[in-house]
Amino acid sequence: MPQPTLLTGRVLRTLGSPFDLPPEEALRIEDGWGVMLEGGRIADIGPAEVLRQNWPQVTEIAYGKDLICPGFVDAHVHYPQTAIIASWGKRLIDWLNTYTFPEEMRFADPGYAAKIAARYLDLTAAHGTTTVCSFCTIHPASVDALMAEAQARGQRIVAGKTCMDRNAPEGLQDTAQSAYDDSKALLEKWHGVDRLSYAITPRFSPTSTPDQMAAMGALWAEHPDCLMQTHLSEQTDEIEWVKSLYPTARDYLDTYEAHGLLGANGLYGHAIHLEDRERDRLREVGAGLVHCPTSNTFIGSGLFDMAGLTGAGVRVGLATDTGGGSSFSMLRTMASAYEIGQLRGTPLHAAQLIWLATAGSAHALGMGDRIGALTKGAEADLAVLNLSSTPAIAQRAERAEDSWEELFATIMMGDDRAVRATWISGKVNA
């Protein structure tokens, strides 16, 4: 067995939610601490001197003043949109028709899917991201490509075949039956293998008929331990479209609820323009919402109510939403979440921002016992941040009164240059 590895530096400890406790009590930045890695897991955490005494035969990697934190967890992405990220000038429906659907057609080619899967996981690892929850395309090969690439890297991932049987190009439509059959086969092939999990994935109500929604609900009922991911109330014109397609539904959420697609293992991306009943039902069932701030501003969707939803006890994660989102970086995503909070009059503390990108997203995925925090027994996924990675950040860090001010400067101005190292399953990403 490989010798244990000790990482030393400043260590981010997660003691609770900074939305329930004062932020600097929920998370602490400890100087001169360390994290012990062994067999792909965190074997111990504590003051570096104590760890050295308790583990005399180790390989130590000293990161000095760098911050050792949990690897970032990106809770809502579309890896097939990697190549079209930052495309100009469209709102949601036009974005899909102009950019997304033509690109997703290319994933019928397994070779192209494999190339983009590898590219995407390279890009996200370079930004400190160690877990993603991704929509694929309607093509089973798109799921196989991402799962196989993540498996080869020992990476934790959630992914699913996107299901659509209307309001999409003919080459991107399946049927209610084929969506069920393909999804079931992929689920049985990948779910629970190594660090891989399957998510049942109807894209959203406008691109699925009631029959397909019911088929996905039936599959979820058969496999309730799986996640189910979709989109909810992203833009006002989208909501009006949903009302026209489902005239008897009480609201957008009801289009899912009526077909068995509302539950504690449900992940609902965006959720910006919620009605009171929708908020109440999401809280009652314990569903997870995913805030996608760079996407929401880039395609003009609106301002997510972080304070109101977390204050009501709703689980919330954070996501880049590649490629409607304009960055692969969870640091940039945290910065955008801060800016949206400011526009709503509820600015977020640095501890709240990094919690959303780590433990918050992990809990939204139902994986908070495995990833998202540096705790003994957790999976060894970590990001090491240089809090003086550029001259502009370094000069601000010199003026910081505490570590939180230092971290905030990196959140607001950092990019992949701030990521000193990314560790996935106890191995440093080359």
> pLDDT tens digits, residue range 177-194?
999 999 999 999 999 999
Q: Has residue 302 been placed in a domain? A: yes
28 lies in the same domain as 81: no
Q: Has residue 272 been placed in a domain? A: yes
117 lies in the same domain as 91: yes
Average pLDDT over residues 74-97: 88
398 lies in the same domain as 269: no
- The tokens for 66 are 């760098």
378 lies in the same domain as 267: no
Q: Residue 430: pLDDT band by 50, 70, 90 thresholds?
A: low
64 lies in the same domain as 77: no
Host domain of residue 381: 5-70+373-428
The predicted-structure confidence for 339-392, as pLDDT tens digits, reads as follows 999 999 999 999 999 999 999 999 999 999 999 999 999 999 999 999 999 999
What's residue 388's pLDDT?
A: 98
Give the whole-angstrom CA distance, residue 233 versus residue 237: 9
Last residue of a domain, one of 328, 363, 392: 328
Last residue of a domain, one of 328, 363, 384: 328
Q: Tell me, what CATH number does 415's domain have? A: 2.30.40.10
Q: Has residue 134 been placed in a domain? A: yes
Burial of 249: CB neighbours in 10 Å, binned 0-12, 13-18, 19+? middle
CB 142 within 8 A of CB 168: no
Model-level pTM? 0.97
37 lies in the same domain as 99: no
181 lies in the same domain as 236: yes
277 lies in the same domain as 394: no
Q: Has residue 56 been placed in a domain? A: yes
* pLDDT reading at 1 higher than 70: no
411 lies in the same domain as 319: no
What's residue 299's pLDDT?
A: 86
291 lies in the same domain as 391: no
Give the Cα-Cα-Cα angle 157, 364, 73 (nearest 5 degrees): 45
Give the whole-angstrom CA distance, residue 311 versus residue 399: 33
The predicted-structure confidence for 118-137, as pLDDT tens digits, reads as follows 999 999 999 999 999 999 99
What's residue 97's pLDDT?
A: 85
Domain count, the chain: 2
Q: Has residue 342 been placed in a domain? A: no
* pLDDT reading at 2 higher than 90: no
Q: Has residue 360 been placed in a domain? A: no
Last residue of a domain, one of 275, 296, 328: 328
The predicted-structure confidence for 221-278, as pLDDT tens digits, reads as follows 999 999 999 999 999 999 999 999 999 999 999 999 999 999 999 999 999 999 999 9
* pLDDT reading at 88 higher than 90: no
* 138 contact partners, CB below 8 Å, separation of at least 6: 104, 161, 162, 163, 164, 172, 173, 174, 179
Go through 21-44 and write b for each residue having 16 or more CB atoms within 10 A of its CB, e for each that does not. eebeebbebbeebbbbbbebbbbb
Strand runs (DSSP E) across 203-314, as ranges?
Answer: 227-232, 266-270, 288-291
Q: Tell me, what CATH number does 236's domain have? A: 3.20.20.140
Among 304, 93, 285, 110, residue whose Cα is nearest residue 203: 93
Give the Cα-Cα-Cα angle 192, 194, 197 (nearest 5 degrees): 40
Average pLDDT over residues 41-68: 96
* 39 phi-psi bin (left φ>0, alpha ψ -120 to 50, beta other): left
Q: Has residue 363 been placed in a domain? A: no
Q: Has residue 346 been placed in a domain? A: no
Bridge partner residues of 156 (DSSP): 131
222 lies in the same domain as 122: yes
79 lies in the same domain as 50: no
